[in-house]
Amino acid sequence: MRRHHYERHRSGRSGWLRAAVLGANDGILSTSGLLVGIAAAEASRGQLWIAGIAGLVAGAMSMAAGEYVSVSSQADAEHADLERERRELDTDIEAERKELAGIYVRRGLEPALAAEVAVQLMQHDALGAHARDELGLTPASKPRPIQAAVASAASFAAGAALPIAASMAVPLPWAAKFIAGISLVFLALLGAVAARAGGASIWKGATRVTFWGAAAMAITAAVGSLFGTAV
């Protein structure tokens, strides 16, 4: 009995994973930074709550809109490249065949073999062959604006909810330090999970996220203490 060989690659996760990690990281970092700054300015519990919820809603909508516009622009550019390639195939297919063969020669094939490969691939799917080997476009890398927007908004909201909950869990005099500490723990966990999902070093992923999160919160706490007012 013949067994099918199946390989699970991580590159197919790149679109939604990037948006989700960016959203969650931004949700934790921006909201905790906002709350730490306000708590350091001796704000009331109500002011902390209002600021946190406002930051969550505004941030989630901003992330969704930004991701949708950004990924849509990428999709438009790729569509334009494909249309141009389609026109070139319609007007001068021989030149396109030679161009494809040249790509294979540069990748290490003998000229005769490269020419034969180009002929056979273009007979099967000319536009697909040029999209993949000339433009570097594959189904796994296809831009998905709605998926990216939803993933980014949802992950931002989830990330932002963590420091908001933390701000309600301790007395106000301890709020700034507690929010900062628990948010750094969340950031470290997020960095580790993202690195694990992407096949990278867990410690490296956790360390770099935690470092920049600590720096951002230290700056916002200093600003809040300097001005001493809820902003």
State yes or no: pLDDT of 190 exceeds 90: no
Q: What average pLDDT does the segment 155-166 reach?
A: 91
pLDDT interval class at 218 (50, 70, 90): confident
Residues in the chain: 231
The pTM for the full model equals 0.69
Q: What average pLDDT does the segment 50-76 reach?
A: 90
The helix or strand, by DSSP H or E, that contains position 144, with its residue range, turns out to be none
Closest CA to 189 of 205, 178, 175, 212: 205
The pLDDT assigned to 229 comes to 47
Amino acid at 138: T
Domains of the chain by residue range: 11-81+146-227
Q: Are 38 and 224 in contact (CB under 8 A)?
A: yes
124, burial (CB in 10 Å: exposed 0-12, middle 13-18, buried 19+): exposed
Q: Could you give the count of Cα atoms lying within 13 Å of 28 in the half-sphere of its Cβ?
A: 26
Cα–Cα dist 126/138, whole Å? 14
Q: Are 72 and 149 in contact (CB under 8 A)?
A: no
The counts of H helices and E strands in the chain are: 7, 0
The pLDDT assigned to 221 comes to 72
The pLDDT assigned to 44 comes to 83
Beta strands in the chain (DSSP E): none
Q: What average pLDDT does the segment 75-97 reach?
A: 86
Q: Write out pLDDT tens, residues 96-143.
A: 888 888 888 888 888 889 888 888 888 888 888 888 887 887 776 777
DSSP conformation letters of 28-75: HHHHHHHHHHHHHTT--HHHHHHHHHHHHHHHHHHHHHHHHHHHHHHH
Q: Which residue has the tokens 């790149």?
A: 14
The pLDDT assigned to 9 comes to 47
136, burial (CB in 10 Å: exposed 0-12, middle 13-18, buried 19+): exposed
